[in-house]
Amino acid sequence: MRLIRTHKLVAAATALLLCLAAGCGSSGSSSTTGASATDTWASGVCSSITTWQAAVKSAGSSVKSDPSKSSLETAAGDVKSATQMLSSDLKSLGKPDTPSGQQAKDSLGQLSTSLQQGSATISSSVSGVSSVSDLASAAPTVKSTLTTMQTEIQSTITDLQGLDAKGELKDAFASSSDCDSLTSG
């Protein structure tokens, strides 16, 4: 019976890890020397998001290497911290110097709020874990929340690229190597 529980715990932790890593890109950086303020803004958006994705992926890896309640709680805390940092980073960027700059800033604010709500959902799901069956019950919630968070990121990036008639934001995202993993197909 204990062996079955151990296998269920490992299976649930593995499922959780797969969902943590799903859709998460690696962090990248690029030089913005000589770039316009709009290019720098887009690069900052993408850099902040890819840093968040890398932190989420790392949290998943830590659970994979140590599938336990403690590592799951630590991973949830890491996701929460990364989400708070992302929110702070996005707010500090302000708005791009384009006719639709305020819309872009508002879109990032909405994304930030949504990601913080997702992080709270994950933390809540994980905080109730006290047994193998609780872990198995929390995994689908964590997975669907992370999937939703990634979808919201992609949707926001797509929306940002289509905001101005002149295509300044689209061009800025396209010219930044920090945005490659977020803007490719």
Q: Say what percent of the chain tops pLDDT 90.
A: 39
Q: What is the pLDDT of residue 119?
A: 93
Mean of pLDDT values over 125-130: 83
Mean pLDDT in the chain?
80
Q: Are 89 and 44 in contact (CB under 8 A)?
A: yes
CA contacts within 13 A on the Cβ side of 48:
22
Q: With 50 as the cut, is the pLDDT of residue 10 above it?
A: no
pLDDT in tens, 135-157: 778 878 888 898 899 999 999 99
pLDDT in tens, 65-102: 877 778 888 888 999 999 999 999 999 999 998 999 99
Question: 181: pLDDT confidence band, cut at 50, 70 and 90?
Answer: confident
Cα–Cα distances (Å) from 18 to 54, 57, 65, 163, in that order, read 14, 9, 13, 33
Q: With 90 as the cut, is the pLDDT of residue 32 above it?
A: no
